[in-house]
Structure 1
Amino acid sequence: MSKYTKQFKLTVVKRYLDSSMGYVAVAQQYGIDRSFVQKWSKQYALHGEAGLDKKFSHYNAEFKLSVLQSMWDKQLSYRETAILFDIRNLNILSNWERSYHSEGIQALTPRTRGRPKAMSPPKKVQPQPAKTDESRSREELLEEVNYLRMENAYLKKLKALVQEQALEASLKKRK
């Protein structure tokens, strides 16, 4: 939420433009910093009342690079550049410049925001078609028979263990 409404900004700018008072005097009259009066009046002069509106923008890499090039070519300050291109947060220009010098044009591309998805979509695994017994080799069939025998023996031992534990539990209850 903006601290100052558009109507308040417009009142301050009109007061500055209509009177012979300077930035400092108007700022003192409204109890604000002189930089606000200066910034709002320049935005108003360049963009009209729309320059005082709230603005939430996302900029692409080409725009960012063109802003930086213009700033360097014309030797403008961050404040002047922000007012010229109607960028409300002049601190973002220093971030763009620092990123560009350290990482190049790739640093200016917008990144995805927010928290990454917790899980990726499940990968669809295509089941391999089962081979018929006739198409399998003797070794594959013997391997499967041995596997099934081990599985069967394991399940028998597990069943015996469970029955033994149940028998011991029932004997303890009788005592």
Structure 2
Amino acid sequence: MSKYSARLKSRVVQDYLSGERGGYGEVGRQHGVGQGTVRKWVAAWRAHGEAAFKKKYSFYDGPFKLKVLQFMHTKALSCRETAAIFDIRNPSAINVWKRRYDSGGMQALEPRPRGRSVKQPKSSAPAVSSKSDEARTKEELLKELNYLRMENAYLKKLDALIRSESPTAQRKKRK
């Protein structure tokens, strides 16, 4: 989300294009934005007009990304120029697409799921069998017994460690 409004962007571009207020730097100072930002807004305005400052959807599918990369390659354009032509907000995204395509081909350009991945908890516990205890073999029962003993010992040691550290932590705070 841009921190600048579309109205401000249009006003800055109009001030620059009128030529009465100076170059990129001077117009930027008058409006409190950087010279590079003014240059980017003017380029976007020249390529797309008023639509350049409207909110855009930032999801690009694999075939679109490939089309952008091929266009950039055949016309020998920079990422910034290509982004202005295709109305892509973040020119550095094109570099990311290029690296992915070079390393993984078309599959690497396909969109990946967003958000955190759901990870299954890794449990070293033996799988709980749906068999009753009577139906399980002696080996299965001994394996489970051994696991439960180890778990119990671990929890006892953890509890002892927590109890031994809490009085020392309190004494350190009092000093």
TM class by smaller structure: 0.5 to 0.7
Q: Which residue of 2 aligns with 1:34?
A: 35
Can you list the C-alpha shifts for 1:138-166, whole angstroms capped at 9, x where unaligned?
xxxxxxxxx79xxxxxxxxxxxxxxxxxx
TM-score (normalizing by structure 1): 0.64
Indicate whether 1:83 and 2:81 are aligned.
no
Q: Which residue of 1 aligns with 2:14?
A: 14
Using the alignment, how far apart are the partners of 1:116 and 1:43 within structure 2?
36
Using the alignment, how far apart are the partners of 2:19 and 2:90 within structure 1?
28
State the identity %. Answer: 47
Q: How many residues align?
A: 121
- AA paired with 1:43? A
Using the alignment, how far apart are the partners of 1:90 and 1:110 within structure 2?
17
Which runs of at least 4 in structure 1 moved beyond 3 Å after TM superposition? 115-119
* Unmatched 5+ stretches in structure 1: 120-146, 149-175
> Greater shift after overlay, 68-77 or 19-28?
19-28
Q: Which residue of 1 aligns with 2:164?
A: none
Can you list the C-alpha shifts for 1:95-130, whole angstroms capped at 9, x where unaligned?
0011111111111001122234578xxxxxxxxxxx
SS at match of 1:46: helix
Q: Which residue of 1 aligns with 2:47?
A: 46
Q: Which residue of 1 aligns with 2:100?
A: 99
TM-score (normalizing by structure 2): 0.64
Q: Which residue of 2 aligns with 1:5?
A: 5
Quote how far apart the aligned CAs of 1:86 are. 0.2
Using the alignment, how far apart are the partners of 2:61 and 2:5 within structure 1?
28
Contact 1:2 1:54 in 2 (8 A): no
RMSD: 1.8
Using the alignment, how far apart are the partners of 1:2 and 1:114 within structure 2?
21
* Unmatched 5+ stretches in structure 2: 121-133, 136-175
